Amino acid sequence: MYKLVIQGGNALHGTIRAAGSKNSSLPILFASILADGPITLTNTPHLSDVSTTLRLLMDMGAEFILESNNDLFVDSSKLTSLVADYNLVKTMRASILVLGPMLAKYGEAKVSLPGGCAIGTRPVNLHLKALEELGATIEVKNGYIYAQADALIGTDIYFDQVTVTATENVIMAATLAKGTTTIHNAAQEPEISDLCNCLNTMGAKISNIGTSTLTIEGVKSLSGVKYSVCPDRIEAGTYLVAAAITGGSITIKNMRHQSMRATLGKLIEIGADIKTENNSITLDMKGRRPKAVNIKTSTYPNFPTDMQAQFTALNTIADGHSSITETIFENRFMHIPELSRMGADLTLEGNTVLCKGVKSLTGAHLMATDLRASASLVLAGLAAKGTTTIERVYHLDRGYETIEEKLKLLGAQIERVQD
């Protein structure tokens, strides 16, 4: 196991390139099951969740090659097993995304129920209900989902609650269904639009992309494709906060600012100078201390839950009082006790954290718990006085490509050391 050791206090300055999006790469990799031939992806990030997805597909008979130019060649067109085993699914909940494609292509699937995780129980009832409405027969027993469908029939799907991966499962299932499916109250995250654009390049017929009402006209088959994954707006947002919390400046290349409006709006509120060019974002704090900012997470295009922990860390050293309300997940405050151990003044009341900014945090020995909570501990360590050690860095590696290398490039004193 590895840990990160950070000597805090350096203002970060420099330029980095946004990696490809984790939450776009995963559904697109699972969509390879739908294709009659191989797909080649460019700009996929080097993350453990991507490796887990490739291992899961390989266990079911897919082949992949990571080319020397970093292109990822994946052929999932002839699966030999329709079982997504517990041993892999338990490490990555997004494995539920095999369900829709397998039902659409093969008419059956046996998928381990993804457990909960640190941030919540993470049920999949909305996935199963929608797939049954498309004509699947689904039984859950002994910790597995047994799904079967002679044919999926297009229909109107109404989601009571906005759900990202359930929307993605239904989109993928509907691409090969008989007839037309309309998804009402669909999630609108940019990663869903990226999946839809990739599927249309494969021959799918999806319209109203980027809206909450998606229409999918079923087609006979989908072909292999070469596709470039969109940049990761959460990774980019995390590095923007890293510069903001240390009073520095940063330019993020290859990032579409249009998908980050809510995050950039909050960074302007904390007092950052923000400049956006066609494909890059520059933030400059000019050495200023951030101003406290109130946060309330919601569904896209509002403030993303995946940026909540990072802005909580920012608020701990900001000038003034703030409140941070989490409305998406029931337990996404695992970073609070750890930040408090660094001297943060935080009070948790239900799904809201009340924060009183302090002049500075002090380094401490910390434990990472989930992906974005771990990122917030790194950000706090960058700003804190003294040394911060963060255990269980594997949580970070799920969603951040070589985080310590990128931070070192920006002037951070950070090392990855063996436990």
- Catalytic positions are 117
Stretch that binds ligand EPZ, among 66-74, 83-91, 123-131, 218-226 (CB under 6 A): 123-131
Nearest approach, Cβ of 229 to ligand EPZ (angstroms)?
A: 13
| Residue number with CB closer to ligand EPZ (127 or 406) | 127
Q: How far is the CB of 176 from ligand EPZ (least distance, A)?
A: 22
**Residue 26 C-beta: closest distance to ligand EPZ, Å:** 5
Number of residues that bind ligand EPZ (CB under 6 A): 24
* Per-residue H/E/C for 253-288: ECCCHHHHHHHHHHHHHCCCEEEEECCEEEEECCCC
Which of 161, 221, 279, 347 binds ligand EPZ (CB under 6 A)? It is 161
Residue position matching structure tokens 């052929």? 75
Segment 310 to 369, residues that bind ligand EPZ, using CB under 6 A: 328-329
Q: Give the integer Cα–Cα distance in Å for 262 and 169.
A: 26
For ligand EPZ, which stretch binds (CB under 6 A), given 21-29, 79-87, 149-157, 310-318?
Answer: 21-29
SS3 9: coil
166 touches ligand EPZ by CB under 6 A = yes
When the beta carbons of 102 and 126 are compared against ligand EPZ, the nearer one is 126
Cis peptide before 301 (omega within 30 of 0): yes
Candidate residues 284, 306, 338, 397; the one interacting with ligand EPZ per rule CB under 6 A = 306
Question: Minimum distance between the CB of residue 99 and ligand EPZ, rounded to whole angstroms?
Answer: 11
Report if residue 165 touches ligand EPZ, rule: CB under 6 A: yes
**Least separation in angstroms between CB 121 and ligand EPZ:** 6
Alpha carbons 288 and 271: distance in angstroms, whole number: 8
Asked whether the beta carbons of 16 and 409 are under 8 A apart, the reply is yes
358 CB-contact burial (10 Å; exposed 0-12 / middle 13-18 / buried 19+) = middle
Position among 107, 120, 179, 203 found at the interface with ligand EPZ (CB under 6 A): 120
CA quadruple 43, 75, 399, 186: dihedral positive or negative? positive
Q: For 238, phi and psi rounded to 5 degrees?
A: -65, -40
* Binding range to ligand EPZ, per CB under 6 A, among 18-26, 316-324, 345-353, 407-415: 18-26
DSSP state of 168: H
Using CB under 6 A as the binding rule, whether residue 10 contacts ligand EPZ is answered as no
**Residue 319 is encoded by which pair of tokens?**
């000038």
| Encoded amino acid at 380, one letter | A
Nearest distance from C-beta of residue 50 to ligand EPZ, angstroms: 11
Among 382, 384, 411, 283, residue whose Cα is nearest residue 13: 411
Three-state SS for 341? coil
Residues in contact with ligand EPZ by the rule CB under 6 A = 22-23, 26, 94, 120, 122-127, 161, 163-166, 187, 305-306, 328-329, 371-372, 399
